[in-house]
Chain A
Amino acid sequence: MNQTSDAGSETPGANSRSAIRDPRSAFTEVLRHGDDNLVLAQRLAGWVASAPDLETDIALANIALDHLGVARALLARAGELEGRGRSEDDLAMLRSEREFTNLLLCELPNGDFAQTITRHFLFDAYQLCLWEILSTHPDGTLAGVAAKAIMEARYHFRFSSSWVIRLGDGTGESHRRMATAIGEVWRFVDEMFDDHPDLRTSWGRLVEPVLAEATLEKPSHVSQRRGGRQGLHTEHLGHMLAEMQSVARSYPGSAW
């Protein structure tokens, strides 16, 4: 995992744009997006060998792999920006729960298939909007990863939105499960837009027509949870990290 370097990256501070003038802030920004993708990839990998059918199983694993690839590139870059010699592996495997800066949405347990699909549908739409903005970011690596990831996010969004429609406008049982999942997951939507309030409108334009076609209602007056960006997580993240990090922590420095 540690062979990747990036010749296309810019030196922190080389650009006059304020977002990168302070390397610490660029570190924080890159780390947040890296953490979102790492935690989501780990969650999604939990479906391997458990999805409703083989094609869906392979699709979820492939999507997890895309998120993991983005996470690796961004965590490696975060390590460079931080300048303390931490590798992508160090950042992924040797930080504690309070040091993770992912959105709460990304760490939600998979629940049933409806809950997983809902989580991804809402997040895929967010990433489609986000990568577009970040593809012109002054940090060359973040911009390059974003420009690449947007092409993959189109496939992700097509997958998750087609499932939202199929389940929402499906049987009584699938509709009931989707309605429950949306009510559950919607509590974590607002946190996505704390860093990028300008994305909310374009996100709504992607999400709302799909919900309408799926005969699902957008919840209103839902009390919102947040705190992931500050390291204040749900009770679920610690358990996930304990499993994800167990090998790296039990056998420090081991390689194979």
Chain B
Amino acid sequence: MVMADIGSVVSPMFLVSRVRDPEIPAMSIWDLGIVRSVETDGNRVTVTITPTYSGCPAMDTIRADIAAALAGHGYECEIRTVYSPPWTTDMISPLGRRHLAEVGIAPPGRPDQVLCPRCAARDPRTVSEFGSTACKSLMVCSACREPFDLFKELN
């Protein structure tokens, strides 16, 4: 991929938006909707993010990845965490939802809207509302019988 590179200047917003969620690498933190702002003052960048879940253990890695992405292009950064307004699953972008489905994670939705990411059948059975990570439930498709993750609706 050719980066939007003008000489050695790459936009901090571009660098931050490319950082992946370490637990769901199919999705960028931009599509996840946790980047609140990226402010640049010369060489200094202030990035404000918000957690998906209060105890999301990926936040430390995300902070480190943002800092590394910016440092790679000579930026110094400060990363702030805010809680308000709280993140909800409505902040996931349409592209992010598509990426989730592509890797077999059903995007968040009301129970009657959830489709099996493999065979698109309705009415999956909930095995547990607490799955492999804080943000996912464990489901089983009632048609193809395959288990799958559902990104939990939070709002």
Contacts and interface: CB of A to CB of B under 8 A. Distances in A.
Given A3-B60, A3-B63, A6-B81, A65 B87 contact: no
A147 B84 contact: yes
Contacts of A155: 129-130, 152
Q: Main secondary structure on chain B at its contact with chain A?
A: loop
A62 B130 contact: yes
Contact of B57 (A4, A65, A147): A65
Nearest to A64: B55
Given A8-B83, A55-B127, A143-B84, A149 B54 contact: yes
Contacts of B134: 62, 65-66
A77 B132 CA distance: 29
B82 A70 contact: no
Interface string A29-67: 000000000000100000000000001101101111111
Max count, chain B CB within 10 A of own CB: residue among A65, A72, A148, A149: A148
A4 B79 CA distance: 8
A5 B80 CA distance: 6
Contacts of A62: 130-131, 133-134
Given A55-B138, A70-B55, A155-B152, A63 B130 contact: yes
Contacts of A7: 48, 80-82
B128 interface: yes
B53 A6 contact: no
A151 interface: yes
Range class of the B interface residue count:
20 to 34
B155 A151 contact: yes
A69 B60 contact: no
Contacts of A66: 53-55, 134
B110 to A, nearest CB: 14
Interface of B: 48, 51, 53-57, 60, 63, 79-88, 127-134, 138, 152, 154-155
